[in-house]
Chain A
């Protein structure tokens, strides 16, 4: 469903993503991990067509996002890490705007909007201006917007930032249900617990290069460790195990 072939992005002399080859199957929930500045958000922006790669290509359900962006975007839902939305619209108006942009502003969508607002506990806030929302509430509105058009692929950048524990639990179960219903999820996050619990496969990127790819078991073997915890595996693979010096300084 999602395929990247030799995907490369350079910012001047800095290679943010370096010949990334990935393949995420339909209905799979894929966890994308990496330290800060590893190239996760850059990769995600290329997957959604917000950045043009210098080399390589992205295929979404067979559509090249650069050659056939409309067909690809119709099946993509995207939740960014920073939810910039039109602050002077109400939540409900914003969702109707998104429905209009996708050409699905009909009665069924209106009902769907109401269901989602109810589900995300935003019903009472639906007619308030978004500028009054907290970060977590904005994040929820963006999540609803990304689901309105029944996407086949959901690309998520840091889904848990700003969410309260109840909403985080809700989001997790929504992701699980979406994956069960055959939707492909590509989740970039620092929440290792989320990845460990929900993702079928995990990819770890460092300095723009994919350094590990596989199931939890495969990653464990790759890191040559018996640790059960993904955190230990991640730290071992990214070479960030020796924290004692830092702790000493603090």
Chain B
């Protein structure tokens, strides 16, 4: 009864917060829905293609299909464990409403169950949604009966329950020893680091080799030979086996794994509740203790940033030094740096492994290489946009609840935004130019193309910085705890979409003069300077508009914002 009161209150809070939807809120949901739909559709498409391909492989087909599903479940299980640990520390140990709940005369199992359910929902919904297109692809390829889909849902329920329960067991004991906030930060970092390693390793494995028919047979035989179950005692294996047998309508074997899965889920949840009864309260108390906040005497702390940036004007310097120090000391800001670092590694690896030696050897091959490089500028533009979303777009919001100090200071909003612009532009510009110079070196590019690319990324850096500062001011998020939420907010998504549109437009515009230059070199056709000049002016015009409009609107929004 008491648990229902608490859950009901939580649902009412959720209901009230959704009722406040404004027009921009609806637009936001619409954009999320459209992007989400395309994302899920693309997952479905990729899996459908892979499974169709596997299905046609004689002998190995069903083994490969089952293997892939067990790998999917194993990946999901690992992701669920990590996300459940991170989410449970926030919900079960750091939520502000716990003080109120713990002060009430209710058994400790009530807040534990409520927060446990919250953890289950918060950390599993994304995996659940992501699994839909995968299961649909399996159903389509293996021509499953309709019953497969509801059965798949009932397989997922105990699977998710087990993952959450194991994570909650783990955090109960973790929180009895360590303070909550620091542990969560470390786990966030570990999770992101784990994802980065997986992504980078996957890229380093060069999956494009599978396109080569002589290599694919080898790879498939290898996968198929791994017949022995990789982890037969993990719930991910039971879930994948149950799903596969449901898919092939082998109900006898299905019930075996299905009952193991449900039986384990019920047992583990029951044990968790027993353990929580005695251990949750002391763990929660221990987690509240603040960690050591003394600044350690590290090399980075000893650097006198004020002295280094002494040449900068006062306001620019203090804003920059403040941002550096806060970034250095706030672990919640680091994980995305890891992600960006992985993207850069993948980018450089791509440059390094481009099969340029496989290009046909004729007079065009050199130009073909330059053309590939030109198209690759799109990818470098994407990296600039990704860095921009995390650092530039977020930079205004990162002032957080302390933004009132900026508004109170005798500097105009325009000056504040320009200071932010120059600091961010410099960082983005250096990163972009270094990336392009590395590519020029790795691909041994023609001087003309090198100049074009250096100019283009200069343009990208300046425009994407202004776009980021502008949209960041139009959609600021001063009241979020986690900086990652800023980049993934509606404004952040809008920034990514606009950036990609801008990059594509510029590359399309530039492709005309570039083509004309190569045609001129190959077949001595006319090189129309007037046309090139027109395109150049058009590019500048588009870039100025992309800089000016969001900056102007962002400035207006900040000026009118009520603090």
B259 on the A face (CB < 8 A): no
User: Once the chains bind, are A88 and B562 in contact (CB under 8 Å)?
Assistant: no
B359 on the A face (CB < 8 A): no
B interface majority secondary structure: helix
12 extra interface residue pairs, beta carbon distance < 8 Å, beyond A51-B563, A86-B322, A89-B325: A49-B407, A50-B563, A84-B404, A88-B326, A89-B322, A90-B295, A100-B315, A100-B317, A101-B410, A128-B293, A129-B329, A131-B293
Q: Could you jot down 18 A-B contacts, CB within 8 Å? A: A49-B407, A50-B407, A50-B563, A51-B563, A52-B559, A70-B411, A73-B410, A74-B410, A80-B404, A84-B401, A96-B306, A97-B322, A100-B318, A101-B405, A101-B406, A101-B409, A128-B293, A131-B293
A78 CA / B294 CA spacing, docked (Å): 29
Q: Within the complex, which residue of A45, A49, A89 is in contact with B326, where a contact is CB–CB below 8 Å?
A: A89
- Which residues of chain A have C-beta atoms less than 8 A from B411's C-beta? 70, 101
7 smallest A-B Cβ distances: which pairs? A100-B318, A84-B401, A132-B293, A101-B409, A73-B410, A88-B329, A88-B326
- Which residues of chain B have C-beta atoms less than 8 A from A88's C-beta? 325-326, 329-330
- B-side residues, CB < 8 A to A, are 290, 293-295, 306, 314-315, 317-318, 321-322, 325-326, 329-330, 400-402, 404-412, 559-560, 562-563
Distance in Å: Cβ of A109 to nearest Cβ of chain B = 11
Q: Within the complex, which residue of B293, B401, B406, B408 is in contact with A78, where a contact is CB–CB below 8 Å?
A: B408
Distance in Å: Cβ of B368 to nearest Cβ of chain A = 51
A182 on the B face (CB < 8 A): no
User: Once the chains bind, are B410 and A102 in contact (CB under 8 Å)?
Assistant: yes
Question: How many residues does chain A have at the interface if contact means C-beta atoms less than 8 Å apart?
Answer: 36
Of residues 96 through 110 on chain A, the ones whose CB sits less than 8 Å from some CB of chain B are 96-103, 105
Chain A 23-61 interface mask (CB, 8 Å, partner B; 1/0) = 000000000000000000000010011111000000000
Chain A 67-83 interface mask (CB, 8 Å, partner B; 1/0) = 00111011010101000
A129 CA / B325 CA spacing, docked (Å): 11
Assuming the contacts A50-B404, A70-B411, A76-B408, asked whether A86 and B293 have C-beta atoms less than 8 A apart, the reply is no
Of residues 117 through 145 on chain A, the ones whose CB sits less than 8 Å from some CB of chain B are 127-129, 131-132, 145
- Which residues of chain A have C-beta atoms less than 8 A from B410's C-beta? 69-71, 73-74, 101-103
User: Once the chains bind, are A102 and B295 in contact (CB under 8 Å)?
Assistant: no
User: Once the chains bind, are B295 and A73 in contact (CB under 8 Å)?
Assistant: no
A48 CA / B410 CA spacing, docked (Å): 11
Residue of B nearest to A71 (CB): B410
User: Once the chains bind, are A97 and B294 in contact (CB under 8 Å)?
Assistant: no
- Which residues of chain B have C-beta atoms less than 8 A from A145's C-beta? 405
User: Once the chains bind, are B318 and A129 in contact (CB under 8 Å)?
Assistant: no
